[in-house]
């Protein structure tokens, strides 16, 4: 079993809380696909791979979620998200609620979860 990386060698992550403003229902798969398409178009494959983008959670009822990204690529991912205007023909608006260094603080501050 390989040894775990020291904290000083690990990649630092940031967590982006977002909500989608729309009248229609969206599934997690639709949201993930729309995010990835936008990031790939905006950054290209090489830079998209450097973002370490991961959709950590998605709430169907509240239409909000959390993205995990590399600390170096927060601004690029935020810019790519604002370019999403529709998902499967449904008009949407991506609203970035905030960015934090831990999942716990992201949930508490921006998604009002305990």
Whether 112 shows a pLDDT value over 90: the answer reads: no
pLDDT at 16: 97
Q: What is the mean pLDDT of residues 83-105?
A: 94
- The fraction of the chain above a pLDDT of 70, given in percent, is 99
pTM of the model: 0.90
**CATH class of the domain whose range is 13-110:** alpha beta
Domains of the chain: which residue ranges? 13-110
Q: What is the pLDDT of residues 35-64, one digit of tens each?
A: 999 999 999 999 999 999 999 999 999 999
Whether 114 shows a pLDDT value over 70: the answer reads: no
Bridge partners of residue 37, in order along the sequence:
none
Say what the alpha-carbon torsion angle 28, 105, 99, 83 is, to the nearest 10 degrees: 20
């Amino acid at each position: 079993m390989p040894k775990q990386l020291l904290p000083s060698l690990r990649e630092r992550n940031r967590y982006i809380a977002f909500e989608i403003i729309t009248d229609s229902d969206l599934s997690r798969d639709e949201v993930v696909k729309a995010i990835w398409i936008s990031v790939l178009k905006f950054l290209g494959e090489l830079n998209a791979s450097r973002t370490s983008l991961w959709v950590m959670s998605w709430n169907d009822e509240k239409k909000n979620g959390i993205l995990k990204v590399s600390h170096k690529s927060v601004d690029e991912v935020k810019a790519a998200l604002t370019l999403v205007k529709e998902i499967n023909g449904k008009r949407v608006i991506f609203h970035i609620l905030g960015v934090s260094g831990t999942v716990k603080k992201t949930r508490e501050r921006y998604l009002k979860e305990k």
